């Protein structure tokens, strides 16, 4: 065992949450939760890495020996580290870690239900026979949903970059260009601005724009196409996510009506977010009603939005049934869309934060339809 330092002011908060939820400990593996709690980023490889945080006392980090140098370079609150080598394997290190945190038979341990892999869970089960492993997703969401000032500042930078690079890209787009080449232009601009793309950039043209999760391909932009641009930037681990829909030349009469409906639905969703006690369900309903009243309800085929932060998709979810009032500091998207198979689609997406005065749209890129020549 070695003493290591890292920046982890959130550890006392997670321990308080563990007590409230009746957990004895939380186990997290490489990913956004480990980064959130400990400031540590590891590749999710095949070597076991897990941090076990007990309800009281220091967290224990089981880490491959080859990664120990990176851990030792961090500064902040002291925790216990248990490096292990390939010759011995992680079993003994994990056994020592759980023993030193005071866990044993009957302990209730929170895990990341949608993140932890089978081999990581099996290792914990072997080290803690008789323990109960319970999904800690709601507990983690409760903490991560509320962004502090530093998190919001990182997200604002990510928004600035994605909007500036979208503008830069649109000045270069012309009819006849391929979707994949346009997406590459945008991603290179994001990297040149000092960020990374937050996810695979989407440029979807013509009939492809009716697929919300289209993969940019070889189709060339043609006159009359609706073109959906969906991209995000990552800055210091935090992301932005924006969608704007353009047209090559002029839209058909129907696609003009569709665009205006989606634009109105986006505004209604953002307005609903600013109302006292706004919920995911109330924002979803406000946006969806506009499209339903316009006669295109069956063609709005996804939820109105999702949380953003360290992950591109995280709580809160802007969808029917999400009845909890959104707390100040919650960040999420508002992205209604209409998709007409074989014809085209429109989506307009903004990033929003709940504030003490209502809500603020972090994204301000023009929402009126942009024409590509």
Residue 207 tokens read as 């009939």
First to last CA, the chain: 64
Share of residues in the chain with pLDDT > 70 (%) = 96
Question: Which of 294, 295, 297 shows the shortest CA–CA distance to 284?
Answer: 297
pLDDT in tens, 229-245: 999 999 999 999 999 99
Where exactly are the structural domains of the chain? Answer: 2-144, 149-372
Place of tokens 């100040």: 328
The model's pTM: 0.93
Share of residues in the chain with pLDDT > 90 (%) = 90
Question: What confidence tier does 7 reach under pLDDT thresholds 50, 70, 90?
Answer: very low
DSSP string for 168-196 = HHHTT--TT-BHHHHHHHHHHHHHHTT-E
Chain-centroid distance, C-alpha 259 = 26
pLDDT in tens, 120-175: 999 999 999 999 999 999 999 999 999 999 999 999 999 999 999 999 999 999 99
Architecture of domain 149-372: Alpha-Beta Complex (3.90)
* Between 43 and 309, the higher pLDDT residue: 309
The answer to whether the beta carbons of residues 256 and 343 sit under 8 Å apart is no
CATH topology of domain 2-144: Creatine Amidinohydrolase; Chain A, domain 1 (3.40.350)
Q: What is the mean pLDDT of residues 277-288?
A: 98
């Amino acid at each position: 065992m070695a003493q290591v330092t890292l920046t982890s002011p959130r550890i006392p908060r997670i321990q308080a949450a563990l007590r409230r939820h009746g957990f004895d400990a939380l186990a997290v593996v490489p990913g956004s939760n480990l980064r959130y709690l400990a400031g540590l980023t590891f590749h999710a490889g095949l070597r076991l890495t897990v941090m076990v945080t007990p309800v009281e006392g220091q967290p224990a980090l089981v880490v491959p020996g080859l990664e120990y140098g990176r851990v030792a370079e961090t500064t902040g609150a002291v925790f216990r580290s248990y490096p292990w080598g390939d010759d011995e394997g992680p079993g003994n290190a994990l056994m020592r870690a759980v023993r030193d945190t005071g866990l044993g038979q009957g302990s209730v341990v929170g895990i990341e239900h949608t993140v932890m892999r089978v081999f990581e869970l099996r290792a914990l089960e072997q080290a803690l026979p008789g323990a109960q492993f319970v999904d800690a997703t709601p507990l983690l969401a409760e903490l991560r949903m509320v962004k502090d000032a530093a998190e919001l500042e990182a997200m604002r930078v990510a928004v600035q970059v994605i909007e500036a690079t979208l503008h830069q890209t649109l000045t270069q787009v012309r009819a006849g260009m391929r979707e994949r080449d346009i997406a590459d232009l945008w991603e290179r601009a994001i990297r040149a601005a000092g960020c990374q793309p937050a996810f695979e950039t989407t440029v979807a043209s013509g009939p492809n724009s009716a697929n919300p999760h289209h993969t940019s391909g070889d189709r060339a932009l043609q006159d009359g196409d609706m073109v959906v641009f969906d991209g995000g930037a990552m800055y210091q681990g935090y992301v932005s996510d924006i969608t704007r829909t353009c047209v090559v030349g002029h839209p058909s009469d129907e696609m003009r009506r569709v665009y205006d409906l989606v634009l109105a639905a986006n505004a209604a969703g953002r307005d609903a977010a600013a109302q006292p006690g706004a919920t995911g369900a109330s924002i979803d309903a406000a946006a969806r009603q506009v499209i339903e009243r316009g006669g295109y309800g069956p063609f709005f085929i996804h939820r109105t939005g999702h949380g953003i932060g360290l992950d591109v998709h995280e709580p809160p979810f802007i969808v029917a049934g999400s009845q909890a009032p959104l707390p100040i500091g919650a960040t999420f998207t508002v992205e209604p869309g209409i998709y007409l198979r074989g014809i085209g689609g429109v989506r307009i997406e903004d990033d929003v934060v709940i504030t003490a005065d209502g809500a603020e749209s972090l994204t301000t890129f023009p929402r009126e339809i942009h024409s590509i020549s």
